[in-house]
A and B are shown apart, each in its own frame.
Chain A
Amino acid sequence: MSSATIRPGTKVGRPTQPVEKPAEQGFEYPGLPTTCDGAEAVVHVEIHVAQAAGAYPITSSTTMGGGFNAAVMNGQTNLWGDPLLFFEPESEHSAATVCEGFAVAGGRVTNFTSGQGLVLMKEVLYTIAGKRLPVVMNIGARALTSQGLNVHAGHDDMMCVADCGWGMLFGRNAQEAGDLCMIARRAAEASQTPFFNVQDGFLTTHTVETVRLPEPEFMKEYIGAPKEKLMNLMDPANPLMSGVVQNQDSYMKGKIAQRWYYDRVENILEECFELFTRKTGRRYGFVEPYLCDDAEFILVGMGCYMETAKATVDYLRKKGIPAGCLNVCCFRPFPGSHIVNALKNCTAFTVFERMDDPMSTTGNHLTREIKAAFTDAILGVNGQEKIDKIPRIYHGAAGLGSRDVRPGDVIAAFHNMLKPNGQHYFCVGIDHPLALKKPEDPDLRPKGGFSMRGHSVGGFGSVTTNKVIATIAGNVFGKDVQAYPKYGSEKKGLPTTYYLTIADSHIYTHSELEHIDLLCINDPTAILNPHTLEGLQTGGAIFMQSPHTEPKEVWQHIPAHVQKIIRDRKYRVFFCDMVRIAREMASEADLQMRMQGIVLLGAFLKLTPYAKESHMSDEEVYAGVEKALRKYFGKRGDRVVQDNLNCVKRGYGEMKEIPATLIQGSTASKSVDDAALIAKAKKVFNFDEAQRVAATEREGYSIDEVMKHLRSREKEQ
Chain B
Amino acid sequence: MIFTVVWDPDADDKLITLWIQAGSKPERDAITEAAYRIDRELRRDPHGKTLPLEQPAGPPLWLLRENPLAVVFQVKEQDRLVRVLQVELASALDQADA
Which A residues contact B (CB, under 8 angstroms)? Answer: 431, 495, 528-531, 559, 561, 564, 674, 676-687, 689-695, 698-703, 705-707, 709-710, 713-714, 717
Contact = CB atoms under 8 A, between A and B. Distances in A.
A683 B12 contact: no
A707 B86 CA distance: 16
Interface of B: 1, 4-10, 12, 15-16, 19-20, 32, 35-36, 39, 45, 47-48, 50-55, 57-59, 61, 63, 65, 70, 72, 74-75, 77, 79, 83-86, 88, 92-94, 96-98
Contacts of A677: 51, 63, 65, 93
Given A690-B86, A709-B12, A709-B16, A700 B6 contact: yes
Contacts, number: 122
11 contacts: A561-B52, A677-B65, A678-B63, A679-B98, A680-B93, A682-B53, A691-B59, A702-B7, A703-B7, A703-B36, A710-B16
Contact of A690 (B57, B85, B96): B85
A710 B19 contact: yes
B36 A693 contact: no
Contacts of B10: 693
Nearest to A675: B98
B40 to A, nearest CB: 9
A691 B61 contact: yes
Given A677-B65, A713-B16, A698 B8 contact: yes
A714 B52 CA distance: 34
A681 B70 contact: yes
Given A677-B63, A691-B57, A692-B58, 9 more contacts: A529-B47, A677-B51, A687-B53, A687-B72, A693-B10, A694-B61, A701-B7, A709-B12, A714-B19
B2 to A, nearest CB: 13
A235 B50 CA distance: 77
A684 B59 contact: no
B9 A701 contact: yes
A431 B76 CA distance: 11
B16 A528 contact: no
A706 B83 CA distance: 13
Nearest to B5: A703
A717 B61 contact: no
A687 B61 contact: yes
Contacts of A702: 4-7
A710 B21 CA distance: 12
Contacts of A680: 93-94, 96-98
A431 B74 CA distance: 15
A698 B5 contact: no
A458 to B, nearest CB: 14
Contacts of A559: 47
B15 A683 contact: no
B13 to A, nearest CB: 8
A567 to B, nearest CB: 13
A695 B59 contact: yes
Contacts of A687: 53, 55, 61, 72
Contacts of B96: 680-681, 683-684
